[in-house]
């Protein structure tokens, strides 16, 4: 049902797959299986795009109601069992002092809640939120914010990560134009294009495909690849981060699905806002 709703809202299998953080072929297979079970076409496919059939439009209303009901049931059952849970997706540096303050404050305010953490790689800036894998995400913008509620927590200046013996590492600051001939990190195909564009300095680049921070560092170490990173994080002595003076800062954000009424989620965002003010 979540797959169907994503395609119905996007009216595009590629965008829906990106939103769900999955590849397009299994999404297409899942929709075809659903159509076989329903016994009718849900989407009219053509060279100009995808539209809902009358049956699909009817199912969309029912699917939204069904998913809302499923979420309410989950919360009621958890409450009745005395076990309330929240799953938090985290992208980036878990040693950030803001994360530590947030964790401590949330535990104090919700001592009986089971807090589950999903540590994610760089290929999904929503940390599995769109796919329903987490309730709330602590991540970085920018990315596609469609159907999401995004609360900015902090802004960090950005620099370029270089090997310490790189000639550019001697500079006190750099501009993006000075890096135009260098190879940059790339994220896998299907990654949110807004996210990819930001970390590529706003234009297409060539370079190795990476998924995790450690892969980025190894690409710098072995290949002299360059990439961007927020300033203020400690790196091994083999690396240098030089500030980029014409790069927009990176925003740390808390994100949940639009219309989420889970009190644990709302409390998380409120506490996160306070924790990152310090």
Return the CATH number at 206. 3.40.190.290
Please give the average per-residue pLDDT across 247-257, as a whole number: 94
Q: What is the DSSP letter of 46?
A: E
Whole-number pLDDT of residue 2: 87
pLDDT tops 80 at residue 13: yes
Q: Which of 79, 96, 121 is the endpoint of a domain?
A: 79
Whole-number pLDDT of residue 72: 67
Q: Which of 55, 79, 103 is the endpoint of a domain?
A: 79
Examine residue 33 and say whether the peptide bond preceding it is cis (omega within 30 degrees of 0).
no
Whole-number pLDDT of residue 82: 59
Q: Do 234 and 266 lie in a common domain?
A: no
Whole-number pLDDT of residue 138: 95
186 pairs with which residues across the strands?
Answer: 209
Q: Do 115 and 148 lie in a common domain?
A: yes
- pLDDT tens per residue across span 154-202: 999 999 999 999 999 999 999 999 999 899 989 988 899 999 999 999 9
Please give the average per-residue pLDDT across 140-158, as a whole number: 94
Q: Do 163 and 242 lie in a common domain?
A: yes
Whole-number pLDDT of residue 93: 61
Non-local CB neighbours of 22 within 8 Å, separated by 6+ positions = 131, 190
Number of independent structural domains in the chain: 3
Q: Which of 79, 108, 140 is the endpoint of a domain?
A: 79
């Amino acid at each position: 049902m979540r797959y169907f709703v994503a395609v119905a809202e996007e009216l595009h299998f590629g965008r829906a797959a990106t939103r769900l953080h999955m590849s397009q072929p299994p999404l297409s297979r899942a929709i075809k299986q659903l159509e076989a079970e329903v016994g009718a076409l849900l989407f009219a496919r053509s060279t100009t795009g995808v539209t809902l059939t009358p049956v699909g439009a009817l199912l969309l209303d029912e699917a939204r109601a069904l998913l809302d009901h499923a979420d309410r049931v989950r919360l009621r059952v958890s409450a009745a069992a005395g076990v309330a849970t929240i799953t938090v997706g985290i992208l980036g540096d878990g040693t950030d002092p803001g994360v530590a303050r947030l964790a401590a404050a949330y535990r104090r305010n919700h001592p009986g809640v089971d807090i589950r953490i999903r540590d994610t790689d760089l290929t999904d800036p929503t940390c599995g939120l769109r796919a329903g894998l987490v309730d709330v995400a602590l991540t970085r913008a920018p990315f596609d914010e469609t159907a999401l509620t995004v609360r900015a927590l902090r802004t960090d200046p950005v620099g370029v990560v270089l090997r310490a013996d790189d000639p550019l590492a001697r500079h006190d600051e750099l501009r993006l134009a000075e890096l135009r001939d260098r190879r940059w990190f790339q994220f896998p195909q299907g990654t949110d294009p807004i996210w990819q564009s930001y970390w590529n300095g706003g234009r297409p680049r060539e370079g190795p495909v990476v998924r995790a921070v450690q892969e980025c560092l190894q690409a710098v170490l072995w290949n002299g690849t360059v990439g961007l990173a927020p300033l203020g994080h400690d790196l091994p002595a083999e690396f240098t981060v030089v500030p980029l003076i014409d790069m927009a800062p990176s925003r740390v954000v808390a994100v949940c699905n639009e219309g989420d009424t889970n009190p644990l989620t709302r409390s998380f965002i409120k506490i996160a806002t306070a924790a990152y003010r310090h």
